[in-house]
Structures are given as C-alpha cells and as structure tokens.
C-alpha cells in the first residue's frame, strides 16, 4: 500500500505555477491577482483563506482579501463582487463557501464573470466540463485528478465510484473521471446497496462529508481510495474514510490531512494564472 503524498504533489504543482507566473510577469509586466471574499467568522473558512493567501505569496501572485462581517447583506457583498469584476487588475474572484445562511449564495456567485470564476463553479464552466471542453475546472476534483495521475495508474477503463453529488465536488469529479474514460458511478444518500457498488470500485472517491464513512468492508482489495472529506471530530481533522482500517486493503490511499487539501489550493493558483492569461 502506498500513501499518496498530497503535500509533495502539491509542491511540485506550485513549483510549476511559480515558473509560469514568472514568465507571465516578464511577458505582461503585471502580476496575476486573486481576490478572496470571506464573510463571517467560520474558523475553518478563515484557515482555508489564510492558506490561499499564503499560496499566492508562495508562487509570486498578488492577493486581495475582503473579510466582511457575518451580518453583511447581499447588496454589500454584491457591490464588492461587481467592483472586482470590472477591475482589470483582478484576474480571479473567489467567494469562500459556505456563506452565512441569510445570504443568497446562488445569486452572489452568479455575479462572478465566467472568466474570473477561478473556482470553476459557474454554470458555463461546469457545462464546458460536461462537454469535455473544459475551461476552468473546480479546484478540488481537479486536484484529485492530479493525485490519481501521480500514482501512474491509467484511469481509462477503470470502475470509478464517486460518493457524493455536490455541484462543487461530486458532479465535476464524475465528469473529469468520465472525460478520462473511466466507467463512472455516482452514489449519494439515496443510493441502494452502496456497499455492493463501492466494493466493485477500482477507484473510490469519498466526498460525502461524514467522518470515517467508508469502512474496510466497502473497499475492493487493491483499490485506489481518495478521501476528499475534511471533518472535525473532537477538534481533530479526519476524512470520510476510516484510514486505519481501509488503508491495508488499498493499492494507494490519500490521507487527511496531507492528501487532497493541499492540492485544492495548488489548482486554485493554477486556475488564477490561467484566468490572467485569458484576456
């Protein structure tokens, strides 16, 4: 069994992005810039945003952070997004999710122009991915594909099972795997005989948001297991996979922390650079 080292793969992606950022600056005479909007006080979101800002510094990109009160109105957040949308020095706009419940997430995200949607969440960006002509791909599933590539195993023809059907992870994940010629099944809370389906997976992606949900009896011998979960149990980070028991059955497995998490930010940096190049 091999543990997939997300930190290592992430470092190598960031090194490549850094070189490309240098070339971009030399060519265009300006530095790519990511704007991040964070509303409220969710401690996990504050940590993620801090790491995104640090990531920008690491690869030589600029960042702007808008830390807004938890009582912010839709109008207030909309004003910020609109102003960043028309600012030619800003290449990417990211609204950190989840937003406080009283805000209209769908409306606010719809204000981000497709060309600055570095999360790849817009209907157009998701549609382009569905048609296998991707432009900006959601960072987490994109990072998972990089982790799979790092194993050297060809995804084509494999049975891939995705647990979770969110617009931000499960659906784009399934489309990426399908575009890579895997045979893809998407499971969710209403799936019947989940264990039967997951037990047939050569590649199993857990993105359901329930701590230690995937147990040994759900995994095929020799499978590649990627854990997208970031859960906190008694103040400790844990994934959606019961790592201690599942790992001995796998050919490759990604840990939490140190698996998918660092990749998400690397792909965000890559997407921001690509957004800077679009104009």
Q: Which position's Cβ is nearest ligand GUN?
A: 97
- The distance of closest approach from Cβ of residue 228 to ligand GUN in the complex, given in angstroms and rounded to an integer, is 10
Whichever of 172 and 255 has its CB closer to ligand GUN, that residue is 172
- The distance of closest approach from Cβ of residue 121 to ligand GUN in the complex, given in angstroms and rounded to an integer, is 7
What backbone phi and psi angles, to 5 degrees, belong to 257?
-80, 180
CB 78 within 8 A of CB 21: no
Whichever of 17 and 246 has its CB closer to ligand GUN, that residue is 17
- The distance of closest approach from Cβ of residue 97 to ligand GUN in the complex, given in angstroms and rounded to an integer, is 4
183 contact partners, CB below 8 Å, separation of at least 6: 157, 158, 159, 160
Cα–Cα distance for residue pair 252/225, rounded to 1 Å: 6
Catalytic pick among 91, 116, 117, 119? 119
- The distance of closest approach from Cβ of residue 29 to ligand GUN in the complex, given in angstroms and rounded to an integer, is 29
End-to-end CA distance of the chain: 45
**Nearest 10 degrees: Cα torsion 81, 167, 252, 3:** 30
- The distance of closest approach from Cβ of residue 36 to ligand GUN in the complex, given in angstroms and rounded to an integer, is 8
Q: What count of Cα atoms within 13 Å lies in the side-chain half-sphere of residue 208? A: 20
Cα–Cα distance for residue pair 48/268, rounded to 1 Å: 12
- The distance of closest approach from Cβ of residue 139 to ligand GUN in the complex, given in angstroms and rounded to an integer, is 5
Whichever of 265 and 276 has its CB closer to ligand GUN, that residue is 265
DSSP calls for 200-216: T-SEEEE-S--TT-B-G
Cα–Cα distance for residue pair 59/261, rounded to 1 Å: 17
Q: Please say if 119 is a catalytic residue.
A: yes
Whichever of 96 and 212 has its CB closer to ligand GUN, that residue is 96
Whichever of 220 and 261 has its CB closer to ligand GUN, that residue is 261
Q: Interface residues with ligand GUN (CB under 6 A)?
A: 94-97, 119, 139-140, 264
Whichever of 176 and 197 has its CB closer to ligand GUN, that residue is 176
Task: List the structure tokens of 134.
Answer: 């991707």
Beta-bridge partners for 68: 39
151, 161, 173, 264 from 203: Cα distances, Å: 12, 6, 12, 19
Q: Please say if 2 is a catalytic residue.
A: no
Q: What angle do CA 141, 142, 145 make, to 5 degrees?
A: 90
Any idea which residues carry the catalytic annotation? Answer: 52, 96, 119
């Amino acid at each position: 069994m091999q543990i997939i080292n997300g930190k290592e793969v992430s470092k190598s992606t960031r090194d490549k992005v850094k070189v490309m950022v240098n070339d971009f600056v030399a060519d265009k005479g300006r530095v790519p810039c990511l704007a991040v909007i964070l509303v409220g006080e969710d401690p996990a979101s504050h940590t993620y945003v801090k790491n995104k800002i640090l990531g920008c510094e690491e690869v030589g990109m600029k960042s702007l952070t808008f830390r807004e009160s938890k009582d912010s109105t839709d109008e207030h957040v909309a004003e910020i997004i609109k102003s960043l949308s028309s600012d030619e020095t800003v290449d990417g706009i990211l609204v950190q999710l989840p937003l406080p419940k009283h805000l209209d997430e769908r409306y606010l995200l719809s204000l981000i122009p497709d060309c600055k949607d570095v999360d790849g969440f817009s209907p157009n960006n998701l549609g382009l991915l569905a048609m296998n002509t991707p432009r900006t791909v959601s960072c987490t599933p994109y990072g998972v594909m990089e982790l799979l590539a790092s194993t050297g195993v060809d995804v084509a023809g494999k049975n891939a099972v995705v647990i979770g059907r969110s617009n931000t992870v499960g659906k784009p994940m399934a489309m990426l795997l399908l575009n890579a010629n895997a045979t893809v099944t998407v499971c969710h809370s209403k799936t019947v005989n989940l264990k039967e389906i997951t037990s047939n997976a050569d590649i199993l992606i857990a993105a359901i948001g329930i701590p230690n949900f995937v147990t040994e009896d759900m995994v095929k011998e020799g499978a590649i297991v990627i854990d997208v979960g970031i859960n906190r149990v008694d103040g400790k980070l844990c994934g959606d996979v019961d790592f201690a028991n599942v790992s001995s059955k796998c050919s490759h497995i990604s840990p939490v922390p140190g698996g998918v998490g660092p990749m998400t930010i690397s792909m965000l940096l890559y997407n921001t650079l690509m957004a800077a190049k679009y104009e």
